[in-house]
Copies of this chain bind each other. A is one copy, B any other.
């Protein structure tokens, strides 16, 4: 078998580019678009709005993207300006969602609310593709970055009594909060009841079972705090984990 790929694999240089999403400034959506969403919200039942959203969920035209934003705005309890919703996103109980401005929801992500739950997502929050949120009692503060495939669980079965199948035992819904400017690594798992501090970083593939302090870097399974970002003796460059 030939091996032509090798010719392509010479080491390439690291490139430095400015942040794009995190630097975006809020611009008001056009008045007609806001009015369109308000009209839909007033005139359609929730089930029909969700069906409308799904009609445009897979499309890649500019019109599809517009209709996803409008339908989400009509579906959510509150949604700010500049919302972007990627293709194949799935939502449950969006009537409990409160979204800030400039929120990005990546392709194939799922946000699963609960009929009596709360889900607050701040402004300038970036949610990567294939993310999953069990958003029964969730707060993502402003400027949170959520890695591709990272997942969050918001509830746990009690497991009592022992000989009852776990999924038939009672459920504890525990609030999860992610602080201002925190960053959650690709494929990480955040478990029920956890608070991630402001400016904290959670490593890729980490499984976070306990609170992470402000400015901490936590990594591993289960996640341990491996560094304080404010400790200058350790250097700041190497934050992958």
Q: Which residues of A pack against B, CB within 8 Å?
A: 1-6, 8-9, 11-23, 47-48, 50-51, 53-55, 57-62, 64, 86-88, 90, 92, 100, 107-108, 110, 112, 120, 122-124, 126, 129-130, 132, 134, 137, 139-145, 147-149, 151, 153, 156-160, 162-175, 177, 179-183, 185-187, 189, 191-193, 195, 199, 201, 203-207, 209, 215, 219-222, 229-230, 236-237, 239-241
Nearest B residue to A15, CB-CB: B173
Majority secondary structure of chain A interface residues (helix, strand, loop or mixed): loop
Contact B199 A181 (CB under 8 A): no
| Copies of this protein, total | 3
Given known contacts A59-B54, A108-B110, A201-B166, A172 and B19 CB-to-CB distance under 8 angstroms: no
Given known contacts A134-B148, A165-B180, A108 and B87 CB-to-CB distance under 8 angstroms: no
Contact B204 A153 (CB under 8 A): yes
Question: Distance (Å) between the CB of A55 and the closest chain B CB?
Answer: 8
Question: Distance (Å) between the CB of A98 and the closest chain B CB?
Answer: 9
Contact B166 A183 (CB under 8 A): yes
Contact B142 A129 (CB under 8 A): no
Contact B22 A47 (CB under 8 A): no
CA of A79 to CA of B210, assembled, Å: 41
Nearest B residue to A20, CB-CB: B171
Contact B173 A14 (CB under 8 A): yes
Contact of A139 among B8, B132, B145 (CB under 8 A): B8
Given known contacts A141-B8, A151-B149, A191-B204, A58 and B54 CB-to-CB distance under 8 angstroms: yes
CA of A41 to CA of B232, assembled, Å: 52
Question: Distance (Å) between the CB of A152 and the closest chain B CB?
Answer: 8
Contact A22 B167 (CB under 8 A): yes
Question: Distance (Å) between the CB of A22 and the closest chain B CB?
Answer: 3
